[in-house]
Amino acid sequence: MAVAEDRTDEEIIAQIKKILEDYVKPAVDSHGGVIDFVSYKDGHLQLILGGACSGCASSTITLKMGVENMVKHYVPEVHTISAEDDPNSMVDPYYAMDPFMENFDTYESWNSDEPTKKE
């Protein structure tokens, strides 16, 4: 996609943040994940993965196939994207709360023969 006019970094960053806020965050938030903007410079976008995304084996696929494709499509100035796990996330992605599980008191009750539903 050709860039019609040169844009300032501030304009590019504003568009990146809007895409992250409107499209990416709702998708990853639905399963306890967080993806935040860190920086943009010379065509490189740096993100941080938190919540259930931090340390998740699928985060690379989400980043490359989802986030990167979307951002590059709408912001042609972005050429590369990288992300690092948030070391302060303190969420184990393998034990993060599944939205389905909100209906149950505990994982233990869900794993029993008769799950205990919240009233």
Round to whole Å and give the CA distance between 48 and 35.
6
The answer, yes or no, to whether residue 104 has pLDDT greater than 70, is no
Confidence of residue 101 (pLDDT cuts 50, 70, 90): very low
DSSP 65: I
The residue type of 32 is G
Q: Quick one: pLDDT at residue 13?
A: 97
Contact present, 12 and 37 (Cβ < 8 Å): no
Per the DSSP assignment, residues forming a β-bridge with 44 are 41, 80
CATH of segment(s) 10-90? 3.30.300.130
| pLDDT cut 70: percent of the chain above it | 71
Q: For residue range 8-42, list pLDDT tens digits in order.
A: 999 999 999 999 999 999 988 888 888 999 999 99
Round to whole Å and give the CA distance between 88 and 41.
25
Which of residues 107 and 62 earns the better pLDDT score? 62
The answer, yes or no, to whether residue 110 has pLDDT greater than 50, is no
Q: Quick one: pLDDT at residue 63?
A: 86
The answer, yes or no, to whether residue 100 has pLDDT greater than 60, is no
Report the pLDDT averaged over residues 74-87.
91
Write down the domain spans for the chain.
10-90
> Structure tokens of 96?
């993060």
